[in-house]
């Protein structure tokens, strides 16, 4: 089987973590899973990312989301690194970290040509029904934005709840601010009805581009 794509069910797997064995996605059933990989323990960029994820952990928890990290390091290395972060930076890492031997990373496409055997910086957002909803890859040399992961999760939950789409940069779009996008019409009659709302100060730029303020 190839790596899961957006819209696929996340594959079942049993993993070793700093919090003990986990069965994914079974152990987080009914919650969102934020699974993110990092190249290696005891590296500067990865340390900054883990501190950022830890500081936003409660925010993820309020969004019904579980954080899980991963790299191809032994569990002993993970434990020592977590201990180092708490002792030297004063931040406790509250989420589990998967100790992978390469099987999980290969299965999820986290090992890329030209990057040796280390995992790239991948983020998977998996919904409460175990469906992959978003995948982001960063090269090893660029630290990811935890704010963007939070924003993406908020946007997915907003779209699911309201049946709408979100614009660039939502909720701070350059064009339409915090307004949401109404999905394009699927028939001629609906399209012509929407043309009535086209114009300055109205909700639609055209029949295929209508927005809504919630």
Catalytic residue among 46, 159, 204, 210: 46
Catalytic annotation on 46?
A: yes
Q: What is the pLDDT of residues 150-161, one digit of tens each?
A: 999 999 999 999
Average pLDDT, the chain: 94
Kindly report, residue by residue over 155-210, the tens digit of the pLDDT.
999 999 999 999 999 999 999 999 999 999 999 999 999 999 898 888 999 999 99
Give every residue of the chain whose pLDDT is below 50, as ranges.
none
pTM for the whole structure: 0.93
Domains of the chain as residue ranges with CATH: 13-144 (3.40.30.10), 163-214 (3.30.1020.10)
Contact present, 99 and 73 (Cβ < 8 Å): yes
């Amino acid at each position: 089987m190839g790596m899961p794509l957006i819209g696929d069910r996340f594959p079942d797997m049993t993993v070793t973590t700093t919090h003990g064995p986990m069965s994914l996605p079974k152990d987080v059933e009914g919650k969102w899973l934020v699974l993110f990989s990092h190249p290696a323990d005891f590296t500067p960029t990865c340390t900054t990312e883990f501190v950022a994820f830890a500081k936003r952990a409660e925010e993820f928890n309020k969004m019904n989301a579980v954080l899980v990290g991963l790299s191809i390091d032994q569990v002993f290395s993970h434990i020592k690194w977590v201990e180092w972060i708490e002792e030297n930076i004063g931040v406790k890492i509250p989420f589990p970290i998967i100790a992978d031997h390469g099987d999980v990373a290969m299965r999820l496409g986290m090992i890329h040509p030209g990057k040796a055997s280390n995992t790239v910086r991948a983020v998977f957002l998996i919904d409460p029904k175990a469906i992959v909803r978003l995948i982001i890859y960063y090269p090893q040399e660029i630290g990811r934005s935890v704010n963007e992961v939070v924003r993406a999760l908020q946007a997915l939950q907003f779209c699911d709840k309201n049946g709408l789409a979100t614009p660039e940069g939502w909720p701070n779009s350059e064009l339409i601010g915090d307004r949401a996008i109404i999905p394009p019409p699927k028939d001629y009659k609906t399209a012509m009805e929407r043309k009535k709302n086209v114009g300055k100060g109205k909700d639609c730029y055209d029949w295929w581009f209508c927005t809504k303020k919630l």
